Structure 1
Amino acid sequence: MGFTEFLAENFNEFLGYTGFVNASTGNIIMIIVGAILIYLAIKKDFEPLLLIPIGLGIIIGNIPFKADAGLEVGLYEDNSVLNIFYQGVRQGWYPPLVFLGIGAMTDFSALIANPKLVLIGAAAQFGIFGAYMVALGLGFEPNQAAGIAIIGGADGPTAIFLSSKLSPNLMGAIAVCAYSYMALVPLIQPPLMRMLTTKKERLIRMKPARQVSQTERILFPIIGLLLTTFIVPSGLPLLGMLFFGNLLKESGKTTRLAKTAGSALNDIIVMLLGLTVGCSTQASEFLTVNTLYIFILGACSFMIATASGVLFVKVMNLFLPKDKKLNPLIGNAGVSAVPMSARISNNIGLEYDRHNFLLMHAMGPNVAGVIGSAVAAGALLGFLS
């Protein structure tokens, strides 16, 4: 073999390993999708902490390579680094750690001061069960339908936790869908809120919440843990970590642990979670008819949840004294997107009355939504596992 032939043969062999040769149309489409998510995160400020890791993860997961080369670099290849990181998603231990951070960062005072707001968080879960019935009607198996329906809670970690247990084959699509709709809260919720409320209702001013004592704040995570997990023991991984993180925050004796759980640890887990969720969207696994159905059902579930929260407040007002009526704009906050949904309530309230601050009132149903989505996930897991 001549030197020229030797070079040509080695070049052709090298070329066979490159992405230029192994790329498919699906890979290109998904790389463009990842780039769009990164653009929305940076240019439009749509939840950059979520969309940048997911967007780059989608690009990484769709870098084409020779499947039978034994390179051990792909997410679905045993012993690859990405596969090791992905165990936290597949085995479901990233979501409880995220809930630990959420608990350590969340102030439940608004809910403690006005316990009836928990009903709004519960009402918003109608979106989950409504989408579950629709998914069954479209031919999905009960386990798959449950994983899809939980998207309506607007809670990415909960969606990942439940789908990892009940529908692991759909987990990539469910996770990306859930996080996408979380990031699109500012676009999806306001039109629904305006459509379902009158100007008079938007101008309702709520009384300032009472002061909550430290004893109440300490007792809340303990009592909340007992009540919720006695009802749905299957929700213990999420609820247990949520209330554990909150107790670290409120005890006043474990400030260092609470700061670690709510900052450094939470940031690390969110980075790994977003990146590996994005990487799981390889074109061959992601670009299917089922994925399209999941995104449509996820949108329906999220819109039903938002509408249910707003309409439920309007129903509550029928039974409340005039001086204790609630502003229906806080109903959208019953979904679990903390604190995005509460900020949306406040922003729209200020559009109609620049002195009507609804943020603290909206935080009540917002944190109730976190608990509600975890309870709903536990209930579905208990029935279907």
Structure 2
Amino acid sequence: MGMLTDFLMSTGFVGVAWQNVVMILFGCLFIYLAINKGFEPLLLLPIGFGLIVGNIPIPESMSGGEEGMFFVNIYQGVKQGIYPPLIFLGVGAMTDFTPMLSNPKLVLLGAAAQFGIFTTLIGALFIGFTPQQAGAIGIIGGADGPTAIFLSSMLAPELLGSIAIAAYSYMSLVPVIQPPIMRLLTSKEERLIRMEVSRQVSKREKIIFPIVGFLVCTLIAPGSMVLIGCLFFGNILKESMVTERLANTARNAMIDILTILLGFSIGANTLAVNFLTPQSIGIFVMGATAFALATASGVLFAKFLNLFSKKKINPLVGAAGVSAVPNSARVVNKVGLEADPTNYLLMHAMAPNVAGVVGSAIAAGVLLSVLGH
């Protein structure tokens, strides 16, 4: 009977709390959204299953010590800011900056979308978060999970789990959140605007750009050196055409492995006791606000540019200024096609979309330089 009692006391049923059940249900929801709705399955599926795994109570006698735990060890790549820059390297190896180079004016839309980051930062300060925490929360508005993880690991590691879950949740919900904002802020006539075909970009321009882009960005915001450096290094691997094996590895095998490790370790280390708190709920609300403001800023700034430009910009394209690549650009194209089935905006939207990746990394660098002391 003593052995039976010891066995029963060692099961997870004894230590399970309602908070654990809630987090497990969140994990199931993420898996449902990934499989049934197709919302960022490469991210939500690992995070969702990680949430389930991480919220099974384990007796201390079975844990083997914190330092020996598998989940703690793979999480070090998140805590130490290792996974996000390497993901940026893979993103750079699959990114085509041609749409942005062919129409540089659209870069301004990617910059305008960063307005949501700094507005939310001010709001987070106002409601009581520290400057470092506010900066980490604000970057969620860029809809860039790796950047949000990188910055929060440096500025507010105590909020890392909540910020990571919020950032990836909003990245996956781009097709749900953005269209209503885009329709609300544009008229039918504006959604029908046709944009001119972009000019051809030479191979020389494509090779020079990552070098010049890195120098300019890091001189403006030295704190962005790690993210920007990896992004442009991956891009020059792609555009040079002499390191195709390396570029192919970076954008396929490496980024797939990192996505698995990042998503699963984040989920497995997001424990109910740390996540289901008023502070975490506040982070979700502020993150949603940041993302909505970033989307609206891009659309409104495109309308502002149209006041002074002969060549009109379809304001829908401004919504792609957030760095959820390429989902945001696809959403812009879909909403544009709803207004006119022959008006394809995808390539135009990719310009502010990739500019948003660079812009969010620069914003993170600025925040790291200013708040990281």
For Structure 1 versus Structure 2, the TM-score category normalised by the shorter chain is over 0.9
The aligned counterpart of 2:358 is 371
The aligned counterpart of 2:18 is 25
Q: Does 1:106 align with 2:95?
A: yes
The aligned counterpart of 2:250 is 261
- Alpha-carbon distance in structure 2 between the residues aligned to 1:58 and 1:373: 27
Match of 1:320 among 293, 297, 309: 309
Q: Does 1:48 align with 2:35?
A: no
- What is the identity, as a one-letter code, of the residue corresponding to 2:41? P
The aligned counterpart of 2:187 is 198
The secondary structure found in structure 2 opposite 1:69 is helix
- Alpha-carbon distance in structure 2 between the residues aligned to 1:307 and 1:95: 27
- 1:49-198 correspondence runs (5 A): 49-66=42-59, 68-72=60-64, 77-198=66-187
Structure 2: segments with no counterpart, 5+ residues: none
- Alpha-carbon distance in structure 1 between the residues aligned to 2:63 and 2:337: 56
- What is the identity, as a one-letter code, of the residue corresponding to 2:38? D
Number of aligned residue pairs: give it: 372
Matched-pair contact (CA < 8 Å) for 1:23–1:65: no
- What is the identity, as a one-letter code, of the residue corresponding to 1:362? A
The secondary structure found in structure 1 opposite 2:68 is coil
The aligned counterpart of 1:332 is 319
Listed one character per residue, the Cα deviations across residues 135-170 of structure 1 (whole Å, up to 9, x for unaligned) are 001100000011111000000000000000000000
- How far residue 15 of structure 1 moved from its aligned partner, in angstroms, is 1.5
Matched-pair contact (CA < 8 Å) for 1:105–1:246: yes
The secondary structure found in structure 2 opposite 1:285 is helix
The secondary structure found in structure 2 opposite 1:139 is coil
The aligned counterpart of 1:284 is 273
TM-score (norm 2): 0.99
The secondary structure found in structure 2 opposite 1:146 is helix
- Alpha-carbon distance in structure 1 between the residues aligned to 2:189 and 2:53: 50
Structure 1: segments with no counterpart, 5+ residues: 1-7
Matched-pair contact (CA < 8 Å) for 2:72–2:269: no
- Alpha-carbon distance in structure 1 between the residues aligned to 2:9 and 2:225: 49
Match of 1:306 among 295, 304, 310: 295
The secondary structure found in structure 1 opposite 2:195 is coil
- Alpha-carbon distance in structure 1 between the residues aligned to 2:149 and 2:10: 33
- How far residue 79 of structure 1 moved from its aligned partner, in angstroms, is 1.9
- Alpha-carbon distance in structure 2 between the residues aligned to 1:11 and 1:229: 63
TM-score (norm 1): 0.96
- Alpha-carbon distance in structure 2 between the residues aligned to 1:264 and 1:101: 9
Q: Percent identity, aligned pairs only?
A: 59
Structure 1 runs (4+) deviating above 6 angstroms are none
- How far residue 70 of structure 1 moved from its aligned partner, in angstroms, is 5.0
- Alpha-carbon distance in structure 2 between the residues aligned to 1:47 and 1:60: 20
- How far residue 72 of structure 1 moved from its aligned partner, in angstroms, is 3.0
- What is the identity, as a one-letter code, of the residue corresponding to 2:322? V
Listed one character per residue, the Cα deviations across residues 288-328 of structure 1 (whole Å, up to 9, x for unaligned) are 1100000000000000000000000000000101xx11000
The secondary structure found in structure 2 opposite 1:351 is helix
- Alpha-carbon distance in structure 1 between the residues aligned to 2:64 and 2:351: 47
- Alpha-carbon distance in structure 1 between the residues aligned to 2:150 and 2:63: 30
- How far residue 65 of structure 1 moved from its aligned partner, in angstroms, is 1.4
The secondary structure found in structure 2 opposite 1:16 is helix
The secondary structure found in structure 2 opposite 1:263 is helix
- How far residue 270 of structure 1 moved from its aligned partner, in angstroms, is 0.4
- How far residue 377 of structure 1 moved from its aligned partner, in angstroms, is 0.3
Larger Rg: 1
Match of 2:229 among 237, 240, 246: 240
Q: Does 1:227 align with 2:216?
A: yes
Match of 2:261 among 269, 272, 295: 272
Q: Does 1:344 align with 2:331?
A: yes
- What is the identity, as a one-letter code, of the residue corresponding to 2:73? I
